[in-house]
Structure 1
Amino acid sequence: MKKFALILSVLLSTTFASAADDSAAELAALKAQLQILTERLATLEAKQEKTAVQVTETSTQLAEQKPEVQKKDWTSRIALSGDLRDRMEYIDERGKATRTRNRVRARFGVKAEVNDNLNVGIQLATGSDDPTSTNQTLDGAFSSKGINLDLAYFNWKLSDDWSLTGGKIKNPLHKAGKAPLIWDGDLNPEGASMQYDNNGWQATAFVFSVDERKASKDALLTGAQILKSFDMGDNSMSANLGYFSYSQLKGSTPLIDGKARGNTLDDNGRIANDFDLLEGAVEFNTSVADMPLNLFASFVENTAADEENQGYALGFNLGKVKNKGSWSLGYSYMDVEADAVYALFNDSDFAGGETDSKGHILKAGYGLNKNMSFGLAYIASKQDQSKDQQTAYDRLQLDLKFQFK
């Protein structure tokens, strides 16, 4: 009996000891798991705090950058452009001493996008009140040179096909081969024009103010031009027809400086004819040795004059000056009778800016570097074609051109 009690006592103590050992092991395991969970929770809280700080910093940065983004968006709507041309010019007119002069032309323009359909632009340029030249001769004992308003316009896109331009604007009329038969390249008319462009058709209708007068009716220039382009495989062809009518010029003194510039004057020194110009032109565009080639011919007749009322131009343009090493070559022949066009607005270089003349224009250009080129023009012409004695007028121009945009 005593043995049994002893054995039972040993078994019970062993069991309780074993149970105690098991409880201690489980407690230690629970403590270890609790420690792991605590560490994980601390890690998660730290990450959450870091994320909150990053979100706050990002929100602050975006708030600080918002005005800058808006500013960049506005500046992206403004485009600047400009050019500078330094010209050496030699003029040989029969009966007068030869003339050599250095001239510069500087232009600076700003174009702003008001909204998705409306642009406005302003351009300043050197020169004087001459409507066909922004050149400034370098003379006058180093005197300062004048800057004038060359452009001030709006362009309103009314639809995909129609647009309206007003103010002092770039000439919207197409010139075949860029020949200055009717319009000088620097002429920027004043008034309003409506343009249409769709499927190879282009049309322009306009009203321009030539001379505002207090005591009599204003002199106006109104008209329209239609241009149609045709694709011919790798080539293209275009034809245009235009009608341009001046009012209140006949019987008035020639504008600007009173000079006739080849137009017929009456016995009182006033303009003898009206000017209602009918114009037609064709162009053919192809390529030669991977260079663009343009062939053109244009004709004009002043239907308001009975004689000396026709003019024409024909020629070609090969190549285009774009980058360093690129080049261009152009030639045109012009014959402009005395009253074929209003002389104040046609080319101011050809035959000294006079009608009643004919001759040759040879031009060449070469790219010296990016946005930098050299140009040459030689004009061999004769004035006074309707008179008994003609006057030879030759002009050589050497240009160095720089531009940015």
Structure 2
Amino acid sequence: MISNVNRLSWAIGLVVLSLAGHAAAAAAPSENATINLIRLLVQQGVLKQDQADGLIAQAEREAVQARQAATTVAATPAGAPGDVRVQYVPNIVREQIRDQVKAEVMATAKQENWAQPNTFPDWVSRISFDGDIRLRDESRYYSGTNSNEIVDFARLNDRGPYDVNPNSSSGLPPLLNTREDRENLFRLRARLGMKAVIAPQWTAGIRIGTGSDNNPVSTTQTLGGGFGKKDIWLDQGYLTWKPSDELTLTGGRFANPFFSTDLLYSGDLNFDGVAANFNHKLNQDWGVFGTVGAFPVEYTNDTSTSNGSDKEESDNKWLYGAQLGANWAINDSNRIKGALAYYRFDDIEGQRSSPCQPWAGDPGCDSDGSRVAFMQKGNTVFLLRDITPNPLNPSTTPQPQYVGLASEFNLLDLNVAWDTDLPEDLKLRSQAHYVHNLGYDEGEMRKRSEGQFANNLDENGEVESGANAWMLQFTLGNSLELKREGDWNLFAGYKYIQPDALPDGFNDSSFHLGGTNAKGYFLGGNYGLASNVFATGRWLSSETVYGAPYDIDVLQLEINTRF
């Protein structure tokens, strides 16, 4: 270590100065003191034994020479020919000797790598790690008056197709649990990330995380399962270029680059694609920021249909986003941040197929790939396949179906957060978030689906849906970031999400257990148990906006850590 080198150079310098000082006084240096000092340095691990042996031999020779010189001086009369005079060594000269010895020792130590045994290569200093662990106890409570015939369309698409013809189907479609409570689910989220500074403007990052499956909105793993091992997924992997302090470009899989809330995008959601962020401070009180990005949601499968000679045409699904916002420090106690964004989901809606005949051996229908890759629940969906009935037995012709989204999604998004410093060192954050789907058009939905809607219908067969979602939330406490022991805050809010206000696959998976067509309140609190350790309690109560009753209450108790 460097401290060892400092001790070594100091000690050797001391020996040299000791010799010089004794020579100046014409007296022999203390042989025992020098040798004892060298042996002590060996015991402390500063010197190796072979180096110490050489120094001891040198000290003994110089001690003999000094004693001989002292004898000669004592025996020679003052001013007589042949006098031996030893000049006084000034302090500056002794300091130069010390610095020279120290430099030589340092060079030798670095070359032989004996004074820095615990040092690491340069690349190690450019890598950093971070992570978090969350332990959660979750209980889900369902109303006994809920409908028990709500189809799980996500599972139908994943495990289908499902025969919707009651004359030929032998079982029910996949159904959601709507009445049976699930209490004390012990759940874990664990994430570990690494960042590497490749060059002054380039950074690479990788993060792994838990998760029960590969759904994009949750990395929470439900424990149990016979103590079986848990899955680890690649949660992030990205490359960032920062050509200036105001501009950052990122590509790969990375955290949400937009200013948003979980009304639209889950806090666990990561984006695949590329994004550019800029942030410019106009003056002491004002700043502007913005983000643009392009994100592939899903690519057409090269092999669809797998056992058919005619493959599906390329119909890739993309998300394009652009956001512009501003920060304003109104005064010392009030700060506001707001942004307007536009998100365009290209080709995410389903497509009705050409006439097909799975019952006659067709491997699939040409619009099967238009079903969405991941969904939760709430969006209006329709049957994708236009299956031609078997003329020999039309009433019992199997109708194996997938479902697709009926609406387009082009979202206008407005987000505002206002932070206020209150007396008694309290802080208040007020948030409002509004989303409107510009692509919602019931006429176009009916034309696209050819009237084959599978949900969100009233008694007359008319679509019950809407294009608006909004959220209000208030957070009060002595801290909004919860970094220290004793930090605390309380929060409460309300959400209202119409069925087709936004894609149901990307928002918070806790409120109404994910998706759209939900409204209700949420409240809770956080308390700092230690530095970067805090406890959270949360209650979420929701019901459907339209359609059959489906009320869900969720209780979550957590311990969160960051490192």
TM-score range, shorter chain: 0.7 to 0.9
Residue aligning to 1:283: 417
Residue aligning to 1:324: 485
Distance 1:68 1:205, change over 3 A: farther
The answer to whether 1:296 aligns with 2:413 is no
Pairwise CA distance, 1:202: 0.6
Runs of 4+ in 1 over 3 A off after TM superposition: 39-43, 47-55, 62-73
Residue aligning to 1:310: 468
Match of 1:187 among 257, 269, 274: 269
Alignment of 1:217-256 (within 5 A): 217-234=315-332, 235-251=334-350, 252-256=370-374
The answer to whether 1:138 aligns with 2:223 is yes
Distance 1:60 1:280, change over 3 A: same
| Counterpart residue type for residue 433 of structure 2 | S
Pairwise CA distance, 1:32: 8.2
The answer to whether 1:357 aligns with 2:357 is no
* Distance in 2 between residues matched to 1:42 and 1:224, nearest whole Å: 75
Alignment of 1:3-18 (within 5 A): none
Pairwise CA distance, 1:40: 4.0
Residue aligning to 1:113: 197
Residue aligning to 2:546: 386
Pairwise CA distance, 1:62: 3.8
Pairwise CA distance, 1:354: 2.2
Pairwise CA distance, 1:29: 3.1
* Distance in 1 between residues matched to 2:330 and 2:279, nearest whole Å: 20
Check conservation: 1:250, 1:272, Cα contact below 8 A: yes
Match of 1:90 among 112, 124, 139: 139
Q: Deviations over 1:32-62 (max 9, x none)?
A: 8823x1x44999xxx8998865543232124
Residue aligning to 2:207: 123
Any stretches of 5+ residues in structure 2 without a counterpart?
1-75, 145-178, 282-286, 303-311, 351-369, 385-402, 442-464
Q: Deviations over 1:197-229 (max 9, x none)?
A: 101111000000111113322110002011111
Alignment of 1:66-85 (within 5 A): 71=120, 73-85=122-134
* Distance in 1 between residues matched to 2:342 and 2:100, nearest whole Å: 73
* Distance in 2 between residues matched to 1:55 and 1:341, nearest whole Å: 68
Match of 2:496 among 335, 358, 375: 335
Match of 2:406 among 272, 283, 300: 272
* Distance in 1 between residues matched to 2:225 and 2:323, nearest whole Å: 43
Q: Secondary structure at the match of 2:340?
A: strand
Q: Secondary structure at the match of 1:180?
A: coil
* Distance in 1 between residues matched to 2:494 and 2:483, nearest whole Å: 25
Aligned length: 368
Check conservation: 1:264, 1:272, Cα contact below 8 A: yes
| Counterpart residue type for residue 217 of structure 1 | D
Deviates more, 1:323-332 or 1:284-293: 284-293
* Distance in 1 between residues matched to 2:371 and 2:468, nearest whole Å: 23
Deviates more, 1:280-289 or 1:392-401: 280-289
Q: Deviations over 1:164-196 (max 9, x none)?
A: 011001000102xxx311101100010000111
C-alpha RMSD of the superposition: 2.6
Deviates more, 1:243-252 or 1:319-328: 319-328
Alignment of 1:53-72 (within 5 A): 54-64=102-112, 71=120
Greater strand share, structure number: 1
Residue aligning to 2:233: 148
* Distance in 1 between residues matched to 2:117 and 2:437, nearest whole Å: 58
* Distance in 1 between residues matched to 2:404 and 2:227, nearest whole Å: 38
Any stretches of 5+ residues in structure 1 without a counterpart?
1-26
Normalization by structure 1: what TM-score?
A: 0.85
| Counterpart residue type for residue 230 of structure 2 | K
Q: Secondary structure at the match of 1:304?
A: coil
Check conservation: 2:349, 2:372, Cα contact below 8 A: no
Alignment of 1:192-211 (within 5 A): 192-199=274-281, 200-211=287-298
Pairwise CA distance, 1:340: 0.3
| Counterpart residue type for residue 220 of structure 1 | W
Check conservation: 1:254, 1:260, Cα contact below 8 A: no
Q: Secondary structure at the match of 2:290?
A: strand
Check conservation: 2:110, 2:116, Cα contact below 8 A: no
Residue aligning to 2:397: none
Q: Which structure has the larger Rg over C-alpha atoms?
A: 1
